[in-house]
Chain A
Amino acid sequence: MTTVADTLLELRGIGKRFGGLAALSEVSLHIRSGEIYGLIGPNGAGKTTLFNIITGLYQLDEGTFQFAGSSYARCKPHVLAHAGIARTFQNIRLFANMTALENVMVGRHVRTHAGIWGALACNRATRDEERAIEKRAHELLHFVGIQRHSNTLAKNLSYGEQRRLEIARALATEPKLLALDEPAAGMNATETESLKELMKKIRDSGVTVLLIEHDVKLIMGLCDRVAVLDYGKKIAEGVPEEVRSNPAVIAAYLGGEVTEAPRPQAGEGLG
C-alpha cells in the first residue's frame, strides 16, 4: 500500500493478566482503515485474549486503546459494538433457536431506536423501522450468500453457513472494524476459498477486517498486514512476505530454539 491510510485502531502497551499468568504484555499494534489485518500465532499465544480485549469482553490491565480517534479502554461489549467494532466467535455463538433472518435482525439492534413505547404504540415510525430492519437483514443474508436459508433456525444450518451467518449478523451492526476469530476453522479447502472471497468483498465494501487465524497460508494470501503473537508478546509485524521470512516467526511456528534467532548477542559467540 503506497497511500498512508488513517489509523482506525491503535493499541499501545496492552497488558492482561489472569491471576499470575501474563496472557499479554506490551502488545502494540495499529490497524489502518480499509485493510485486512491478520493476527497469527501458535496456540495459546494470546490471540483470542487480545481479540476479547478489542471487543470488550475482557478489560485490559495496562495500555491504551484508541478506536476511531477516541479512547475505549475498559468499555462494555455493547459500547464497542456501538462504536463500530463487530465480531464473530471462534466457537460459533449464534442465537441457535432463532431463524437466520432473526439473527441478522438482532444485529440491527444497535443502529435502530424503537423502544418499549414504540413497540406498544406500533406507530408509523416503528413500523417503518421494522420494515427497514427486515429489508437490510435480507440484503445481508444475500451478501454472504445464504439468503435461501433465511427462515431456517440457525442451529440447523451447516457449519459453513453458520460461519457466514455470524458474519452477516456482525455486518448488520454497521461496523467500521469487523473482527473475525478463526473464521476458517474446520472448513475444507473449497469453503476456505469462498470465505476468502467474502472477506475481500467485505473489505471492498469499506469495512476494515481484523482476522485471527491459525492457518498461515490463508493469512498470507489475504492480509495486507500481519502481526504475530507468541507467548503474549508481539514478535513481528509487517506485510506477509516480510513476516514469513522473519526468523523469530519461523522459530515460533516450527518450535525451534525461541531464544536463538531474535537475540543478536546469541550469535556473537560464533563470530
Chain B
Amino acid sequence: MKLHRPANRHLLVALVLLVLPFIIDSLFGHGWVRIADFALLYIMLALGLNIVVGYAGLLDLGYIAFFAVGAYTYALLGSPQFGLHWPVWVVLPLGALLACIFGVLLGAPTLRLRGDYLAIVTLGFGEIIRIFMNNLNAPVNITNGPQGISMIDPLHVGDFSIGQRHELFGLDISSLHLHYYLFLGFTLLVVLVSRRLENSRIGRAWMAIREDEVAASAMGINTRNVKLLAFAMGATFGGISGGLFAGFQGFVSPESFSLMESIMVLCMVVLGGMGNIGGVVLGGVLLVILPEAFRHGAGPLQQALFGAVVVDPESLRMLLFGLALILVMLWRPAGLWPSAQRRRELAPDETVAQQEQETVYDHSR
C-alpha cells in the first residue's frame, strides 16, 4: 500500500479512527473513551468558532452560548422536565436552528463593531444566556435554574438507544463506543462543511472582511449579510454540538456554559492554528486530553517524586495551562499547526526566497 496516494491515506486514517476507541479502552481504560467523546464534541465547537474567528476575523468571546442553546433545546424537549420526549432527529436540528437564530440575533446589533468592542459585546451575550438559564426557574419553572435538567433522554434512533451497550456484528459495544462513532460522524461532517466553505466564494468573502472590511465592501461584498452568515454558521455548529452534549451527558446545568468554556474553545482555535482545520482539530484534541492526563498524572507523579502531594493537581493544571498558552504564543504565534497562509505571514524571509525561485522557474513555463 502506497501511503502517498491520497485515497490510501484516507483509508488508513479511517481505519485508525474506527479502531481507536478499542485501542484507548484497552490501553488506558474506559474513562478515556469518555474523554475521547468529549474531545470530539469540543472539536465540533472549535470548528464552529473557527468560522467566526478564524475565517471572518470576528472575535467572539460568548461562543459557548450557542452550545448552551443547543444543549438546553435538547434537554427541554427530551426529558421529564416537561414530560416531552421528542425524537432526536427533530430535537437536534431544532437546536441547531435555534442556535443559528441566536447567532443572527447576536450578529445583527454587533455588525458595526470590531476587535475589542465586539469581544466585549459577545462576552456579555454569552453571560446573558447563562444567567437566563440560571434564573428561568421562577416564576415559571422552565430551566430548573442552577439545579439543571437531569434524566435527559439518551441519543437514540427509533428504538435503538446508544445510551446502553449493544451486541453488534458479534461484538459487545459499549455506550461510550457508540457515542464515539456518532460524534465522529458529526465531526467529519463538520470538517467537510468547513473545508467546502473555506474554498468557496463565501469563504473568500469572509477572509476579505477579516483582512479589510472597507476594501471588501468596495469590491461588492455585502458585508452585513456575509458577517451574519458567519455568525449563523458558527452558531449552528455550536448548537449541534450542544444537543449531542446534552444527550451524551444526560444532564445539563448553567455551570457547563461559563465564560471559562468560551475561552477554552477560543484557545483551541488560537493554539491549534486559526483558520486551519487541521490545526483547530489538533487544538481541540490537545486541550481536552492534556488537562485530563494532567489531572490523572500529577498526583501520582508528585507522590513518587516528593513522597507527598505538594500542590493540588487541579490548581497546578491551570497554572501549567496558562504557562503553555504563553509559551505557544511566544514561540508559535500562529498556532501549533497554522494554515499555509499564516505560516507564510510569519516567515517573510522564506517567502522572499520562494518568490525568487518562482521568478527563476517561471521562464520555463
A89-B215 in contact given A109-B220, A116-B202, A119-B200 (Cβ < 8 Å): yes
B348 at the interface (CB under 8 A from A): yes
Find out whether the CB atom of B220 lies under 8 angstroms from the CB atom of A110.
Answer: yes
Find out whether the CB atom of A148 lies under 8 angstroms from the CB atom of B201.
Answer: no
Instruction: Choose the segment among B148-156, B249-257, B351-359 that binds chain A (4+ C-beta atoms closer than 8 Å).
Output: B351-359
CA distance A169 to B212 in the complex (A): 14
CB-based nearest A residue for B233: A116
**What mask results when residues 86 to 100 of chain A are scored 1 for a CB within 8 Å of chain B, else 0?**
110100011111110
- 8 Å CB contacts to A: which residues of B196-231? 196-197, 199-205, 207-208, 211-212, 214-223, 229
- 8 Å CB contacts to A: which residues of B320-360? 341-342, 344-345, 348, 351-352, 355, 358-359
Find out whether the CB atom of A119 lies under 8 angstroms from the CB atom of B217.
Answer: no
Find out whether the CB atom of B201 lies under 8 angstroms from the CB atom of A109.
Answer: yes
Find out whether the CB atom of B215 lies under 8 angstroms from the CB atom of A78.
Answer: no
A81 at the interface (CB under 8 A from B): yes
Q: Which of B204, B212, B214, B344 contacts A102 (CB 8 A)?
A: B204
Give the residues in chain B near A82, CB-CB below 8 Å: 220
CA distance A108 to B355 in the complex (A): 25
Give the residues in chain A near B342, CB-CB below 8 Å: 97
Interface residues of B, Cβ cutoff 8 Å to A: 193, 196-197, 199-205, 207-208, 211-212, 214-223, 229, 233, 341-342, 344-345, 348, 351-352, 355, 358-359, 362
A133 at the interface (CB under 8 A from B): yes
Find out whether the CB atom of A106 lies under 8 angstroms from the CB atom of B208.
Answer: yes
Find out whether the CB atom of A81 lies under 8 angstroms from the CB atom of B204.
Answer: no
Give the residues in chain B near A172, CB-CB below 8 Å: 219
A106-B218 in contact given A120-B193, A148-B358 (Cβ < 8 Å): no
Number of A-B residue pairs at CB separation under 8 A: 128
CB-based nearest B residue for A172: B219
A173-B215 in contact given A119-B203, A152-B351 (Cβ < 8 Å): no
Q: A55-B218, A98-B204, A126-B200 are in contact. List 18 more A-B contacts (CB 8 A).
A: A57-B218, A78-B217, A81-B217, A93-B214, A95-B215, A98-B208, A106-B204, A106-B207, A109-B201, A114-B202, A116-B202, A116-B233, A120-B193, A151-B358, A156-B344, A156-B348, A156-B355, A169-B219
Find out whether the CB atom of B352 lies under 8 angstroms from the CB atom of A106.
Answer: no
Give the residues in chain A near B204, CB-CB below 8 Å: 98, 102, 105-106, 109
CA distance A172 to B218 in the complex (A): 12
Find out whether the CB atom of B214 lies under 8 angstroms from the CB atom of A98.
Answer: no
- B202 to nearest A CB, angstroms? 6
A153 at the interface (CB under 8 A from B): yes
For chain A, give the interface size range. Answer: 35 or more
Give the residues in chain A near B345, CB-CB below 8 Å: 97, 153, 155
Q: Which of A93, A105, A114 contacts B215 (CB 8 A)?
A: A93
Interface centre among B208, B342, B351, B352 (most CB of A within 10 A): B208
- 8 Å CB contacts to B: which residues of A118-132? 118-120, 122, 126, 129-130
Give the residues in chain A near B358, CB-CB below 8 Å: 148-149, 151-152
Q: Which of B196, B217, B220, B341 contacts A120 (CB 8 A)?
A: B196
Find out whether the CB atom of A106 lies under 8 angstroms from the CB atom of B219.
Answer: yes
- B186 to nearest A CB, angstroms? 15
Find out whether the CB atom of A97 lies under 8 angstroms from the CB atom of B211.
Answer: yes
Find out whether the CB atom of A173 lies under 8 angstroms from the CB atom of B219.
Answer: yes
